[in-house]
Amino acid sequence: MAQIVDYATFLQQAKVEILNLRALKARQEQGLIEQRRGRRELEEEKRAAEEDSRRTVKARREETAGEYDRQIAETQGKLRGAKGDREDAKGEGVKARIGAETAQLQAENAALKEQIGILFKKYYVPRFCNSWLYYAIYCPKWIEEYLVLILSAAVGTLALPQILYRLLPVNGILWALLVYIVFDAAFIGLFGLVGGYIREDHITPLSMGRELRDQIRGNKKEIRAIARNIRRDKNEDAYDLGHYDERIGQLKQEIEELNRKKEEALAVFDRETAPVIVQETAAAHQGRIDELTAACEKKEKELADLEAAIAEKTRLLDENYAPHLGRDFLEPERLDALKEIVEEKHITSLSEALDAYRERNM
């Protein structure tokens, strides 16, 4: 370590070295910021290349599959139409078969209805008696007729009086009871009067009509059974649906062929076309990637040189200045203060300058 001749110059040189070290560290900090930004730009460009490649491959693949999907959808529409036509044709065939196999029963029912009409006309039975509702109310026999009778009685004796009471401009429990008693009495009386009068005068034709209506009911039940069996019949040979089945089979085969061709086209795309697209997309971005990579490498070398320069500058400060001043005084402000003391008091040693500094700043 050389002997110090000029303390002011020594202190000035120490300040210059420290400022140079700070400048190097500032450049290093700025370089690290630029390095991080450059690496980020490089990663973003690589991701952009990958995303561009993925998006392009996906779009081209969808284009390849799209035409086949359009044809498949169109053929599936035709298939649905063909199946609908087949169902319509079968429905018409079932309807015609039901009509043919129940024609005799239908004709018999028509004849029975005509016979009832002639019978009632002969005995002067009111026309409204020739109805299912009349027999259900006044001559019930079957369970559904008894249900209609019960429902009619409930409506007549409960619901209608309630509606009438709500329409009246009065209220109260007594009025409600009065309305129910009067209306139910009138309803039951009229019901019995009409039913009794007609039944008394026309008991014979009504009984005969009951028997004929029961025959019609039995025929209808048999017609429903025949229709149900025909609809459940799995044998469709009688409906001449062969040409529909042939058309449906052709359309199904077309769909299978289109699906096969689609899979083959996609396999060729994945095996041959997609790699080419990836290469082309990567080539479009490679120039920018190479540029950013070179910039990152250059910045990395600059930082390595700065780190070496900082290490060397720190070593020089530790060897040439720290032993004389101590690390606490290796600050530009303190060095300026020491230099001022040296110049003012004509100090002959650094120890005197340090002591004077401490006394001044105690």
Q: Is residue 219 part of a domain?
A: yes
235 and 263 in a common domain: no
Q: In this structure, what are the phi and psi dihedrals at residue 292, rounded to the nearest 5 degrees?
A: -70, -35
Q: Is residue 273 part of a domain?
A: yes
Q: Is residue 152 part of a domain?
A: yes
285 and 240 in a common domain: no
Among 62, 65, 49, 41, CA closest to 278: 49
Handedness of CA 235, 240, 243, 247 (dihedral sign): negative
Q: In this structure, what are the phi and psi dihedrals at residue 215, rounded to the nearest 5 degrees?
A: -65, -40
Q: Which tokens go with 331?
A: 């600050």
How many CB atoms are located within 10 Å of the residue 109 CB? 19
CA distances (Å), 85 to each of 74, 81, 241, 283, in order?
Answer: 17, 6, 10, 56
Domain boundary among 247, 272, 307: 247
Q: Is residue 295 part of a domain?
A: yes
- Domain assignment of residue 187, given as a range: 87-247
231 and 116 in a common domain: yes
Distance CA 250, CA 260 (A): 15
Most confidently modeled of 49-63, 101-115, 132-146, 181-195? 101-115
Q: Which tokens go with 33?
A: 């910021």
Average pLDDT over residues 247-263: 93
Q: Quick one: what percent of the chain has pLDDT higher than 90? A: 22
140 and 51 in a common domain: no
Query: Would you say residue 357 has pLDDT above 90?
Result: no
237 and 343 in a common domain: no
Domain boundary among 228, 247, 266: 247
- Decide which of 163 and 247 is more confident: 247
Say which CATH number the domain at 340 has. 1.10.287
327 and 197 in a common domain: no
Query: Would you say residue 4 has pLDDT above 60?
Result: yes
Close Cβ partners of 231 (under 8 Å, ≥ 6 residues apart): 94
What is the per-residue pLDDT for 3? 60
159 and 238 in a common domain: yes
110 and 156 in a common domain: yes
139 and 234 in a common domain: yes
What is the per-residue pLDDT for 99? 92
179 and 103 in a common domain: yes
- Tens of pLDDT, residue by residue over 47-103, are 888 888 888 888 988 888 998 999 999 999 999 999 999 999 989 999 998 999 999
Match 């070398």 to its residue by tokens. Answer: 301
Among 185, 184, 131, CA closest to 156: 184
> What's the whole-number average pLDDT of the chain?
84
Q: Is residue 2 part of a domain?
A: no
Note whether 130 and 208 are within 8 A (CB): no
- Tens of pLDDT, residue by residue over 272-314, are 888 888 888 888 888 888 888 888 888 889 889 889 988 988 8
- Tens of pLDDT, residue by residue over 18-32, are 888 888 889 889 988
Query: Would you say residue 16 has pLDDT above 80?
Result: yes
Q: Is residue 1 part of a domain?
A: no
Distance CA 59, CA 316 (A): 63
Domain boundary among 195, 219, 247: 247
Query: Would you say residue 253 has pLDDT above 90?
Result: yes
91 and 228 in a common domain: yes
Q: Which tokens go with 236?
A: 């469709």
Type of residue numbered 111: A
Q: Structurally, how many domains does the chain consist of?
A: 2
Query: Would you say residue 155 has pLDDT above 60?
Result: yes
Match 């299978």 to its residue by tokens. Answer: 256
Q: Is residue 11 part of a domain?
A: yes
151 and 68 in a common domain: no
Q: Is residue 17 part of a domain?
A: yes
